[in-house]
Amino acid sequence: MASDRDLYAVLGVERGATDAEIKRAFRRLAQQWHPDVNQDPAAQARFKEINEAYQILSDPQRRQQYDRFGRAGLGGEGGAGFEGFSGFGDIFDAFFGGAAAGSRRGRPQAGPDLRYDLRISFEEAVRGVEKEIEFTVLGRCDVCNGSGAAPGSDSSTCPECSGRGEVQSVRQTMLGQMVNVSTCPRCRGDGRIIEKPCERCKGDGRTEVRRKLVVSVPPGIDEGHQIRLSNEGEVGPRGGPAGSLYVAVHVAEHATLRREGTELIHEADISIAQAALGTRLTVPTIDGNEELEIKPGTQPGTEIRLRGKGVPHLRRAGARGDLHVFVNVAVPTKLSKRQRELLEELARETGENVSTNGRGGIREKLGLG
Ligand SMILES: [Zn+2]
Ligand SMILES: [Zn+2]
């Protein structure tokens, strides 16, 4: 989950910070919070937050949108009319593929992960379902096949960095030689120069495509679970591999069933007479309504358990939770004259002291009524 913190606050910079200041802050924080070096359990989330803030603030267009509209300005990036698609999604790998990484220079940068919010019904979550989803994504340009080079033209090794994607500069200082390694400005770290950019994608290797996918939602999935579809995220520029698509599942509520993990809960109201005399109840289950016998003398709060009528375990095939029916004895709040007479007669029969005609029995006995 992306946090709602102010992105500038996340990086600890002023709103008017320069690109260089933002980059410096990011590098410092990334080194401090990278989960490989920081054992703090919170490091991963913190690192992700830092990374996300940097991805947005280092992109002039996104930064401008954020400055003007806040997070709402970023929400619609993935394509108009596409609910819940965050556009940049959860970017887990960007640090490794991004400008700050040293190990991947000269190799194509991977595309970011994306997130799709999928809404399903209560029953679909229990039974499992196949859902077709459709969304707009940056996919490989089919004119240049992702290379970014116009068909027939070629790309050549970058003369500036000899294909390494990074350049070294050596400075003499008082303390000795200082070697500074930075991304090659000529090829932007790709290691190759495109002679004639593809006209369709302007040399980026990517174009927006409309994609349809069938997502297989397993039985037992619950609110907030994510399904990862690798290679279905955005592709990287100029032939970079695709990120993952994370399908975040949202489950609708049921009118009369509540769910806790693999257990289903139903609360049924019965009357005093039904509790005392017994009755038959119709209870909802995932597989349709079921008749349930309520024994005479059933107490309020009685639990009746329908074994195996709950939710399938996600990881244990064949195993299923139970349906718990809690019986609530509803006490009438309004009585007809006849109902009152019958209840008063019942009370007389059992020798109970009750209020009559809405007045207190004790007051009546004391002659105050
Ligand atoms: Zn192209
Ligand atoms: Zn270069």
pLDDT tens string 142-161: 999 998 999 988 788 999 99
Local confidence band at 85 (pLDDT 50, 70, 90 cut-offs): very low
Q: Which two tokens stand for residue 284?
A: 């909802």
Q: Residue 147 Cα, ligand 2 centroid: separation in angstroms?
A: 16
Q: Residue 155 Cα, ligand 2 centroid: separation in angstroms?
A: 12
pLDDT of residue 218: 94
Rounded to an integer, what distance in angstroms lies between the CA atom of residue 354 and that of residue 360? Answer: 8
Q: Residue 161 Cα, ligand 2 centroid: separation in angstroms?
A: 4
Q: Residue 183 Cα, ligand 2 centroid: separation in angstroms?
A: 8
Q: Which residues surround ligand 1, an ion (CB under 5 A)?
A: 141, 143-144, 198, 200-201
Task: Give the pLDDT confidence of 44-64 residue by residue, as tens digits.
Answer: 888 888 888 998 998 888 888
Ligand number nearest CA of 183 is: 2
Ligand number nearest CA of 106 is: 2
Q: Residue 168 Cα, ligand 2 centroid: separation in angstroms?
A: 11
Q: pTM, whole model, 2 decimals? A: 0.59
Largest CA distance in the chain: 111
Rounded to an integer, what distance in angstroms lies between the CA atom of residue 264 and that of residue 204? Answer: 51
Rounded to an integer, what distance in angstroms lies between the CA atom of residue 136 and that of residue 81? Answer: 10
Q: Residue 137 Cα, ligand 1 centroid: separation in angstroms?
A: 15
Rounded to an integer, what distance in angstroms lies between the CA atom of residue 119 and that of residue 69? Answer: 27
Ligand number nearest CA of 239 is: 1
Q: Residue 58 Cα, ligand 2 centroid: separation in angstroms?
A: 21
Q: Residue 202 Cα, ligand 1 centroid: separation in angstroms?
A: 7
Rounded to an integer, what distance in angstroms lies between the CA atom of residue 167 and that of residue 179? Answer: 10
Ligand number nearest CA of 160 is: 2
> What is the share, in percent, of the chain residues with pLDDT greater than 70?
87
Rounded to an integer, what distance in angstroms lies between the CA atom of residue 90 and that of residue 112? Answer: 8
Ligand number nearest CA of 144 is: 1
Average pLDDT, the chain: 84
Residue in 108, 105, 107, 109 with CA at minimum distance from that of residue 168: 105
Local confidence band at 95 (pLDDT 50, 70, 90 cut-offs): very low
Rounded to an integer, what distance in angstroms lies between the CA atom of residue 151 and that of residue 79? Answer: 28
Ligand number nearest CA of 201 is: 1
What value, to the nearest 5°, has the Cα angle with vertex 185 and ends 179 and 190?
100
Rounded to an integer, what distance in angstroms lies between the CA atom of residue 270 and that of residue 278? Answer: 10
What value, to the nearest 5°, has the Cα angle with vertex 200 and ends 197 and 202?
40
Q: Residue 104 Cα, ligand 2 centroid: separation in angstroms?
A: 13
Rounded to an integer, what distance in angstroms lies between the CA atom of residue 284 and that of residue 33? Answer: 50
Q: Residue 196 Cα, ligand 1 centroid: separation in angstroms?
A: 11
Q: Residue 158 Cα, ligand 2 centroid: separation in angstroms?
A: 5
